[in-house]
Amino acid sequence: MYDSFAVERLIDLWLLEDIGYCDLTAQTMIEPGEEGHFAMNARQPMTVAGIDIAAAVFRRYEPRLVVDVKVKDGDVVEKGAILLTVKGPARGILTGERTALNIVQHMSAIATETARYVAMISHTKARLIDTRKTTPGLRMIEKHAVTCGGGLNHRLGLDNGVMIKDNHIAVCGGIAPAVARAKTKLPTLTKIEVECDRLEQVSEALTAGADVIMLDNMSCEEMSKAVSLVAGKVPLEASGGIRLDTIKAIAETGVDYISTSKITQAAPAVDIGLDEA
């Protein structure tokens, strides 16, 4: 989910960054009246994300281009699938090509990696969620890509909820006073989450009235005990040390959510090309 108006502002920045003064190659080699017809294709299996944004890049740079999107965000495609076709003034296609490819490759990488993590915990009740560890300026589209892969979004920004972490607790003098302070000024219906790295803190956070409790870098044994301790009173989020080879065991402890930055910060690039149709 993203706002198209905001994405249009980003597209202008991306194009300006890549073009600079002008596209010397296209301007010197391609005549204004020459036409082109190209297809964007998947060169490996993937979960698609950002295809409409890629189409918008082409249309933004050259409004005369005819872009036909063949898939939708969230689709799982095989190697060789055509994602979109674009035809019209060749200069416009070739100048916008790299920016369009960069975005759909980056977003599809995140969606594809997210889908791998989601598949590992599909037999449990746990849901995968992202973090605020995103590329500056790209959070909106990266979090959209997570949802395309079957994940859920955590806070979109600092104004989306209260997250009481170890440093907040240290300044306030404990979990109970930290939660109490937050509750005095908190907007109605806004949730409070407390980060805990020890079981005794879980009890404190529950007693203090936390809406969500994060289990930070706990062992699976400790998380299982926290699940029994909380007994469904509030949702539990597991965080820290989450990898593809660890997430299954963590989900099987009974936690409700598992958050990781790996899906946005370490997603392997996917291979997408633009070839003559």
Q: Which amino acid is at 264?
A: T
Is 60 catalytic? The answer is: no
- Which of the following is catalytic: 133, 155, 181, 225? 133
C-alpha torsion sign, points 196, 202, 208, 211: positive
- Which of the following is catalytic: 165, 181, 191, 262? 165
- Which of the following is catalytic: 62, 130, 193, 195? 195
φ and ψ at residue 160, rounded to 5 degrees: -90, -10
Is 98 catalytic? The answer is: yes
Is 116 catalytic? The answer is: no
- Which of the following is catalytic: 18, 70, 75, 98? 98
Is 165 catalytic? The answer is: yes
| DSSP classification of residue 31 | -
Q: How far is CA 13 from CA 25, 99, 102, 138, 144, in A?
A: 20, 10, 14, 12, 19
- Which of the following is catalytic: 23, 73, 216, 237? 216
Is 275 catalytic? The answer is: no
Locate 46 and state its tokens. 């993937």
Q: How far is CA 187 from CA 1, 71, 131, 162, 184, in A?
A: 24, 40, 22, 10, 9
Catalytic residues: 98, 133, 165, 195, 216
